[in-house]
Amino acid sequence: MFPRAGRAGSGEHGLSLLELLIAMAILAVLASAVLPLAEVTVRRNKEIELRRALREIRMAIDAYKDDFNRAVEEKKITPSINETGYPEELADLLDGSDWGGLFPYKRRYLRRPVYDPFAPPEAQGSDDWGWRLRSYQDDPDSGVWGGEDIYDVYSQSDGIALDGTPYNTW
């Protein structure tokens, strides 16, 4: 049997005010320890998503360029003088190309748009999918896209990662 709380013989059960205050204090201490860990976990998950998205879109850009080079090598297409072989817009990675008959089908490089997880929600509906872009002619650390083609993408976020590096340098 459980011991009774309250006055002896009154038949009342429950917790005293002191017991409730102690329980609330313990819960507050536990909550204050868990909340920072939860925030770090959410941020770490967004960083993992950013790394995955960058890897996926950069691999698609490289595969596009490799197929362009192969099509030129096999004389399936004739490039123009200033053509680098990189996609002119990110939608080219979704639409794909058969490269003048290099493939018997239209080869696509992405199944769906790959968004920057740190971009503001309104940027995700744009043509650049929330990324900042660099063309082949741009300097490696340029912050302005030349507009000729898409050689690289990087995050718009000015935030600092858990490892101390800025997201826009990844």
Query: In this predicted model, what pLDDT tens digit does every residue of 48-90 receive, in sequence order?
Result: 999 999 999 999 999 999 999 999 999 999 988 888 999 999 9
At 128, is the pLDDT very low, low, confident or very high (cuts 50, 70, 90)? confident
Confidence of residue 2 (pLDDT cuts 50, 70, 90): low
Go through 13-45 and write b for each residue having 16 or more CB atoms within 10 A of its CB, e for each that does not.
eeeeeeeeeeeeeeeeeeeeeeeeeeeeeeeee
Q: 10 Å Cβ neighbour count for 52?
A: 12
Whether 5 has a pLDDT exceeding 60, the answer reads no
pTM of the model: 0.77
> What 3-state class would DSSP assign to 155?
strand
